[in-house]
Amino acid sequence: MPNLAPAEPLAIAGGTPAFAGPWPPDYPGAFFIGEEERREVLEVLDRRSLFRYYGPETPDKVATLEREFAAKIGTRWALGLTSGTAALKVGLAGLGIGPADEVIVPAMTFIASAGAVLAHRAYCVFAECDESFGLDPADVAAKITPRTRAIMPVHLGGVACDLAPLLAVAKEHGIPVIEDCAQSAGASYRGRRVGGWGDVGAFSFQTQKIITAGEGGLITTSDPAVYERAFRYHDHGGYRFGQEGVRVSGSTAAAGAEEAAPPTAQLEAIVGEVYRMGELAGAVALAQLRKLDSILALARRNKRRLVAGLAGLRGFQFRTVPDAAGDAGTRLNLLLDDPGRVDAFCRAMRAEGVPVARVYGGLPVYAADQIMHRRPGWAVDAADALRRPLVPLGDPYGPPVAYHMGMCPRTEALLARALVLAISPLFTDAELDATVAAFRKVCGALL
């Protein structure tokens, strides 16, 4: 049975838009910045101590953030970093990922998930996603090789992947898991927060994230060896313990690293980077963390109202949500039955004032130029370029790797039907009802 034809003409055909607008901007955490963030930041400025490890009067904002974040996720440690991408890189370094290792990455994700792997000169092995938009455990199992060193589930849009079957596959093969939690801070699966299931969780505080410091990131882990490597990688590959003026006491991170550190003679050499979080970002992220659950409560309430309002409509299905109670509530995802109607549907919804869009432009992550068409300057010819810049030529690095469309056909077909709508935690009931009215109009006319 088709949807009910709309009583009003579509806005795209000259009718009145269902959502009078303006549409609330997609900056969930940023809109909750207030007195608390101001107070934390001013304390850092007043103490003139913007660096976490030393300064005139270090306020330990990053260390406090780490302690409270780890407690919320249920891990032993958290480590504050400069971005979510840095968190993935540092997390992978913590797992010991290096050149020519293979990391299984979902075909549907943001470029950073794959980029962090490639930046370590490791290979991405792209696996299919299912209708939950999470990694398909059967395809992950099929893509494991003797070179597989990590599996990276990505919790897209506030929804936790179905982790139980993924972790079972990982465990069976003895492969560590790094969860990309950049879009899903605070979301949970079976009562435990994301970032607390795998060997490492990676979070982002970039400005569009659920909580934000403008830029920033953090990893969570309970594994001392992972933490120890990650800690050194994020700070030049070494330790500051014992250096004059370095603040260790009161800093859980530094104290934890000291505890996790093996005797110097046994240390693996790590050529580190500099991904340390500064006290200003730490101050903002700390105040935001303390608001996380109240932001989630609003977002969840709004998503429930929106989903209930769409009940009975035909022509699409909702993305499956493995654990609805843990959904952060920040995104609505739909799969239209007919991929041929996606563009017309998006255009009509936008005309109604509701900015529905394709998920990642309808393309898998490996379609990105920097992955599929890499042509490093030092490649001698096109065939050589396929080997670089990811790994050097020759043994023990194996055959050249080319990335091309068709690698994950089920995910490509899924993306051709996939839509996303950001749900602001600040929506009023009237705005949510207008959004529902827009869906009802457009579904009635087009699906």
Ligand X SMILES: Cc1ncc(COP(=O)(O)O)c(C=O)c1O
Residues that bind ligand X (CB under 6 A): 83-85, 109-110, 112-113, 154, 180, 182-183, 204, 206, 217
In the complex, least distance from residue 33 CB atom to ligand X, rounded to whole angstroms: 17
Instruction: Pick between residue 3 and residue 113 the one whose CB is nearest to ligand X.
Output: 113
In the complex, least distance from residue 92 CB atom to ligand X, rounded to whole angstroms: 12
Would you state the structure tokens that stand for residue 356, as one six-digit string? 């529905």
CB 277, CB 218: distance < 8 Å = yes
Backbone angles phi, psi at 142, to 5 degrees: -70, -25
Of 374, 441, 406, give the one whose Cα is nearest residue 126. 406
Residue of this chain nearest to ligand X (CB atom): 84
Backbone angles phi, psi at 333, to 5 degrees: -120, 135
Instruction: Pick between residue 155 and residue 350 the one whose CB is nearest to ligand X.
Output: 155
CA atoms within 13 A on the CB side of 251: 24
In the complex, least distance from residue 27 CB atom to ligand X, rounded to whole angstroms: 13
Provide the 8-state DSSP code for 232. H
Classify burial at 14, counting beta carbons within 10 Å of its beta carbon; exposed 0-12, middle 13-18, buried 19 or more.
Answer: exposed
CA distances from 338 to 13, 405, 447 (A): 22, 21, 9
In the complex, least distance from residue 156 CB atom to ligand X, rounded to whole angstroms: 6
Instruction: Pick between residue 19 and residue 203 the one whose CB is nearest to ligand X.
Output: 203
Instruction: Pick between residue 284 and residue 443 the one whose CB is nearest to ligand X.
Output: 284
CA 225/CA 335 separation, integer angstroms: 41
Of 367, 411, 319, give the one whose Cα is nearest residue 129. 411
CA 309/CA 425 separation, integer angstroms: 17
Provide the 8-state DSSP code for 135. B
Instruction: Pick between residue 152 and residue 434 the one whose CB is nearest to ligand X.
Output: 152
Instruction: Pick between residue 75 and residue 109 the one whose CB is nearest to ligand X.
Output: 109
In the complex, least distance from residue 159 CB atom to ligand X, rounded to whole angstroms: 12
Of 343, 83, 329, give the one whose Cα is nearest residue 219. 83
Instruction: Pick between residue 277 and residue 351 the one whose CB is nearest to ligand X.
Output: 277
In the complex, least distance from residue 135 CB atom to ligand X, rounded to whole angstroms: 13
CB 194, CB 172: distance < 8 Å = no
CB 218, CB 282: distance < 8 Å = no
In the complex, least distance from residue 6 CB atom to ligand X, rounded to whole angstroms: 35
Instruction: Pick between residue 84 and residue 134 the one whose CB is nearest to ligand X.
Output: 84
CB 180, CB 166: distance < 8 Å = no
In the complex, least distance from residue 109 CB atom to ligand X, rounded to whole angstroms: 5
Instruction: Pick between residue 205 and residue 239 the one whose CB is nearest to ligand X.
Output: 205
| Virtual torsion, Cα 47, 48, 52, 53, nearest 10 deg | -100
Question: Strand, coil or helix: what is 356?
Answer: coil
- Measured at the CA of 62, the angle between CA 60 and CA 63, to 5 degrees, comes to 65
Instruction: Pick between residue 123 and residue 205 the one whose CB is nearest to ligand X.
Output: 205
In the complex, least distance from residue 268 CB atom to ligand X, rounded to whole angstroms: 26
In the complex, least distance from residue 188 CB atom to ligand X, rounded to whole angstroms: 17
Provide the 8-state DSSP code for 416. T
CA 139/CA 105 separation, integer angstroms: 11
Q: Which residue has the tokens 């979301």?
A: 187
